[in-house]
Amino acid sequence: MFNKIHLSALTVVGAAVIAILPTTGAAQQALTVASWGGAYTNSQIEAYHKPFTAKTGIKITSADWGGTLGEISAQVKSGNVKWDVVDLEAAEALKGCEEGLLERIDPAKLPAGADGTPAAKDFIPGMILPCAIGVIVYSNVVAYDKAKYGANGPKTLEDFFNVTKFPGKRGLKKDPSVTLEWALMADGVAVNDVYKVLGTPAGVDRAFKKLDTIKSSIVWWTAGAQPPQLLASGEVVMTHSWHGRIVDANVKEKKDFALVWDGQIQIPDLYAIIKGTKNLDAAQDFVRFASSSQPLADQAKYIPYAPTRNSSLALIPASNPNKAYLPNAGHPGRSMSTNSQFWMENQDDLNKKFAAWLAK
């Protein structure tokens, strides 16, 4: 699935989408879209870039970036804006908008869903921000190699923290986000109370105390490609991972990695436009196109990330094997969504505390 190109289905877009596309001067234009690389960028190329270029003549170049607002700020402040559109997470989208690094996006100009539902009602809550529009939702999960455990592998988030029952190294992203939420959930905090607890000094201390129980067993990773590699090499017995990377490894590399959905933390990715782009109109057109019903549904052909529009879900056929791996496909166990507002307000403070804890 991941290594096949299905262009025929991608050429079908609704009249509402076609209506938003530019009609003059497109052939002379080009856009650069920055994203996260790997299977994710490839899915965007197939579902968004190629059909948009086919309809408008506007060529799109892909760029990889590290996800820090400093990269965007440097371009904006220097006046040398290299990227037009960037794929980022909600906390960065909120902060970037607040700091004047991103262009405003008019929600009234977003096309209605394929079923006629107005965009404001079609997107799942929280996906229309002042300077960004949600395109996918992915999950942070625990993964392990079935060859090592068979049917007796970890089943819950608590198992990730249980080095007695499951001895060995664990992989974790070197970031307080997800790490701190998981620590509290594994320590008995209810899903609905996680951010309330984490918003207090005692709650932060509680999270780090829980992490202390596995600190000596942690292998830290910083790039999404690393978790499957850590599992394949045997360097860790289980790891935190973005769920699509694990599915991709199973499909492309014939691995037999299992996903533990209990405790999954869902995070959206959004498209934003960098302040000062010289291709503002084309960038706005691209964001409206990419976040419309059919392209969002088409992306699920290439990677198992959930579209942010309800109308898109209905366009994903049951025959698509990725549908079973969408974060909202009814998996067992606890599930929560990241609180982007919380992280925008507390990121700097928790980053400092996380760095201090790492240094101990």
Q: Which residue has the tokens 């992490």?
A: 211
| Fold for the domain defined by 7-136+268-325 | D-Maltodextrin-Binding Protein; domain 2 (3.40.190)
Q: Residue 13 has what pLDDT?
A: 37
How far apart are alpha carbons 201 and 114 in whole angstroms?
46
Least reliable range by pLDDT among 9-18, 128-137, 149-158, 332-341:
9-18
Per-residue pLDDT tens for 231-243?
A: 999 999 999 999 9
Residue 9 confidence (pLDDT) above 60:
no
Reported CATH class of domain 138-267+329-359: alpha beta
Query: Do 7-136+268-325 and 138-267+329-359 fold alike per CATH?
Result: yes
- Write the secondary structure of 323-343 as one string of H (helix), E (strand) and C (coil): HHHCCCCCCCCCEEECCHHHH
Torsion angles phi and psi, residue 200, rounded to 5: -115, 150
Give the pLDDT of residue 18: 40
The per-residue pLDDT for 38 is 82
The whole-model pTM stands at 0.82
pLDDT over 90 at 97, yes or no: yes
Domain ranges of the chain: 7-136+268-325, 138-267+329-359
**Does residue 129 have a pLDDT over 90?**
yes
pLDDT surpasses 90 at 219: yes
Average pLDDT of the residues in 73-87: 97
* pLDDT tens string 30-55: 999 999 988 889 999 999 999 999 99
Confidence band for 150, pLDDT divided at 50, 70 and 90: confident
CB atoms within 10 A of CB 217: 16
